[in-house]
Amino acid sequence: MDPIPTYPEISIDVPPYLRVHKNGTIERLAGIHVVPPGIDPQTKVISKDITIIPKTGLTARLYSPNNSTSKKLPLIIYFHGGAYCISSASDPLYHNSLNKLVLEANIIAISVNYRLAPEHPLPTAYNDSWEALQWIASHTIENHEENHENLIKERVDFNKV
């Protein structure tokens, strides 16, 4: 008979979301499922993961309709739920919702994947969100190509953000 596994003592327990063990291990119980980026089979919306700030590891998931229009589209900037402790931009709930929104509204969407507490205590998530907004805004500056995403620069109508 296999021994019953033992877990380190729990110092913080927030059921059903997460546990922090006394040895520093963080056990997330919710918001742990992910959907890979790509072409959504139902909506045909294209998603891809991008790096916003390489130094901090700030990333986002970018969504665009699968059409060849040259018309510039509005942009929605989305910050996923999870109380700054769980979940991600690739969570099925947010991913599927944004696929539908992008299709139906004919927009571009970016879902910011800010760093989570408790590993990164607040205000880290706020700072990541602000840096993401600044990075998006930097796409409006002519001849400013540092770490830019072509889809944002070429397809977003910055009068409709």
Q: What is the DSSP track for 83-124?
A: TTTS--TT-HHHHHHHHHHHHHHT-EEEEEEPPPTTTS-TTH
pLDDT at 84: 94
| Mean pLDDT (the chain, rounded) | 92
Are the C-beta atoms of 152 and 133 separated by less than 8 Å?
A: no
pLDDT over 90 at 70, yes or no:
no
pLDDT at 3: 66
pLDDT at 143: 63
pLDDT over 70 at 71, yes or no:
yes
Q: Is residue 6 very low, low, confident or very high in pLDDT (cuts 50, 70, 90)?
A: low
46 to 15, 82, 84, 142: CA distances (angstroms):
35, 24, 26, 26
What phi, psi does 129 have (nearest 5°)? -65, -45
3 to 6, 109, 139: CA distances (angstroms):
9, 49, 57
- Per the confidence metrics, is the pTM higher than 0.85? yes
pLDDT at 43: 97
Mean pLDDT value across residues 12-20: 88
What phi, psi does 46 have (nearest 5°)? -100, 130
pLDDT at 69: 77
- For the chain, give every residue range classified as CATH 3.40.50.1820: 46-155
Architecture of the domain made up of 46-155: 3-Layer(aba) Sandwich (3.40)
